[in-house]
Amino acid sequence: MGYETDDGLVITDLVGAGANAVRMRSRFTPDAEHQWSEIAKLYERSERLHAYIGDWHSHPNSSPRYSVVDCAALRVVSASPEARCKRPVMLILGCCDHWATLAWRYQPGRWWDRVVLMQIHRF
C-alpha cells in the first residue's frame, strides 16, 4: 500500500502472504482472498488515499529479472479495476552469486505492454 509523489512511490503499509499461501522454493502463490481483504481495509482506513502499488517476491536460484509469469501478473493487476493501479511495481530479490534487488514497473501501452526497470534508492 502507498501513494505516488512527484519524487516517487511511498510505501505506507505491507500485507502478508496469508495463511493459505503456498510457499515453495520454485513457486509462490499468495492467499489472494486474504490479501485483497487486507488491502481493502487499509484503503478505507486511509480515507481512500493509500492504494495498492505492487508486490515483492524472491528468486532464490536466479537473478532478480522478471519472468514471463511475473509480467503476466503485472498485466492482470494493471487491468483490474479493483486494484486501482495501472502501473504496478514488482520488487524482486534474486540470488545467483550474491543477493540483488531490482524493481520493475508495468507500463501499459496502446499497442504494446512492457515492463521497465525502476530506479532503486539504496539505503
Q: The whole model's pTM is what?
A: 0.81
| DSSP per-residue letters across 39-108 | HHHHHHHTTT--B--EEEEEETTS-S---HHHHHHHHHHHH-GGGT-SS-EEEEEEESSSEEEEEEEEEE
Number of domains in the chain: 1
Report yes or no on 122 lying in a domain. no
Is residue 60 assigned to a domain? yes
Tell me, yes or no, whether 123 lies in a domain.
Answer: no
Q: What is the tens place of the pLDDT at every residue in 19-65?
A: 999 988 788 889 999 999 999 999 999 999 999 999 988 888 888 88
Q: Is residue 43 a part of any domain in this protein?
A: yes
Within-domain flag for 65: yes
Domain of 35 in residue numbering reads as 2-117
